[in-house]
Amino acid sequence: MDPRLDRDTSNCSIARTLEIVGEKWTILILREVWYGSSRFSDFERVLGCPRNLLAARLRMLVEEGILTTETYKEPGSRSRPKYVITPKGMDLVPAVMGLLHWGDRYRADPEGPAVLARHRACGAHVDIQIRCERGHPVQAEDIESVPGPAFRMKSAE
Amino acid sequence: MDPRLDRDTSNCSIARTLEIVGEKWTILILREVWYGSSRFSDFERVLGCPRNLLAARLRMLVEEGILTTETYKEPGSRSRPKYVITPKGMDLVPAVMGLLHWGDRYRADPEGPAVLARHRACGAHVDIQIRCERGHPVQAEDIESVPGPAFRMKSAE
DNA sequence: TAGCTGAGTATATGAAAGTAAACTCAGAGT
DNA sequence: ACTCTGAGTTTACTTTCATATACTCAGCTA
């Protein structure tokens, strides 16, 4: 990965993921879904996010298959839509756990984090780790990035 | 974590992390640092990002202690600054690996990813996993979020 | 049938981001 | 002394994004 090479970065998986979840509010909406919110008004109240953006982000997350809509019915009210996470959305958990853990470490209040992630089965604190296919824990420094099958160079302009 | 509760989310670690790395270009700059770039012109060329934004992002990353500046000297030229990652910056690797992995899975080209992450020692592919303190692998569905020491409710307005 | 409520849409305004080009600045080479 | 280069800064303009507020709409209840 010589930095002087003119790599074509248009098919970068990080950039492509950020195209979807990199806009303001998107990850925070997903956070609230994980914490149990599902209704438009819940997101609005807890996030304090403008309604038109909330509507736009929810629509996009549904289009991308990260959320899906179901209906709920409060007694005495009509059916309304709610937003639930899909398996594709659950697969974003590790990335967001990474952000959470970094914030806990470097930007938390003196008394500690606001939210703790626990293993439901045993109650122990959960964290993310990097491992290689053989199961060895890997330090970030020991990761080597190499060109993959879709690696491309910039074509001459 | 009842969604109807008026939680105060101003001290959320995810939101605080996004305040730093959530702006456009920031994570892509870090990606290039991991891939080996360190000079202003390298970032500019490979990212195609406007110079004023690149300068602003680099300044912010240095202020936050995620990057630090050193100098390099090309023979026949004067010393110039270069940007290198700090341990605090390396601690963002798991989060970005999460984004990379998700993109590889859901948004890669048909032939596969553009970049592969390998364990330098054994050459095996690396990935991120969620584990509890006792070392058990944890599925995203088995994570429970509970109020932590800095949990707060919204004060009455 | 009039009002209430949750889930939006529409509109206006301001703040960032993108684009492009000119300009600065320090020092090494000639 | 003059030029060249990498690393920026500055300015000007356009476009997209974000915010705030007002408005709509469907259906349940009174």
pLDDT (tens place) for every residue of chain A, 157 residues total = 777 778 988 899 999 999 999 988 999 999 999 999 999 999 999 998 889 999 999 999 999 999 999 999 989 899 999 999 999 999 999 999 999 999 999 999 999 999 999 999 999 999 999 999 998 999 999 999 999 999 998 875 3
DSSP state of B6: -
Supply angle C-alpha A138, A141, A144, rounded to 5. 85
Q: Are residues B2 and B43 in the same domain?
A: yes
Residue at B150 is within a domain: no
- Phi and psi angles of residue A37, each rounded to the nearest 5 degrees, phi first: -75, 150
Report yes or no: B96 and A98 within 8 Å, Cβ to Cβ: yes
What distance in Å separates residue B45's CA from the closest CA in chain A? 8
Structural domain contains residue A66? yes
Residue at A148 is within a domain: no
β partners of residue A7 = A153
Strand partners, B70: B82
Q: Three-class SS of residue B64?
A: coil
Flag whether A136 is in a domain: yes
Domain count, chain B: 2
Residue B16 sits in the same domain as residue B70: yes
pLDDT digits (tens, 9 = 90+) for B28-51: 999 999 999 999 999 999 998 899
The pLDDT of residue A24 is 85
Residue B5 has pLDDT above 80, yes or no: no
User: Burial, B77: exposed, middle or buried (Cβ in 10 Å; 0-12, 13-18, 19+)?
Assistant: exposed
Residues B140, A90 contacting (CB under 8 angstroms): yes
Q: What is the mean pLDDT of residues B88-96?
A: 97
Residue B157 pLDDT > 50: no
Residues B116 and B67 in one domain: no
My answer on whether B47 and B109 are in the same domain is no
**pLDDT for the residue B44:** 93
Contact residues, chain A, for B132 at CB < 8 Å: 118-119, 122, 124-127
In a domain, B84, yes or no: yes
pLDDT in the model for residue A87: 97
In a domain? residue B106: yes
Predicted confidence at residue A156, as pLDDT, reads 52
Tell me how far CA of residue A28 lies from CA of A125, B89, B118, in angstroms.
22, 22, 31
d(CA A108, CA B17): 10
- Cβ within 8 Å of B, A 79-138: 88, 90-109, 111-122, 124-134, 136, 138
Q: Say what the pLDDT of residue A120 is.
A: 95
How many whole angstroms separate alpha carbon B108 and alpha carbon B100?
Answer: 10
Helix H or strand E segment including A55 = helix A51-63
Where is the domain boundary, B88, B106, B122?
B88
Chain-wide mean pLDDT for chain B? 92
CB B18 within 8 A of CB B24: no
Q: Clarify whether residues B74 and B97 are in a common domain.
A: no
| Residues of chain A numbered 20-79 and touching chain B (CB < 8 Å) | 20-22, 24, 27-28, 31-32, 34-39, 42, 45-47
Q: Are B78 and B96 within one domain? A: no
Domain co-membership, B82 together with B125? no
Which pLDDT score is estimated for A2?
73
Reported residue count of chain B is 157
Cα–Cα dist A140/B107, whole Å: 24
Q: CB A122 to CB B136 under 8 A?
A: yes
- pLDDT higher than 90, residue B12: yes
Question: Contact A105/B91 with Cβ under 8 angstroms?
Answer: yes
| B148 pLDDT more than 90 | yes
Provide the residue range defining the domain that includes A126: 13-142
- Asked if residue A4 belongs to a domain, the reply is no
Q: What span, in angstroms and rounded, lies between the C-alpha atoms of A30 and B143? A: 15
Contacts of A33 in chain B (CB under 8 A): none
Nucleotide nearest to A83 (CA to C1'): C7
Q: Residue B84 maps to which CATH number?
A: 1.10.10.10
Domain-located, residue B66: yes
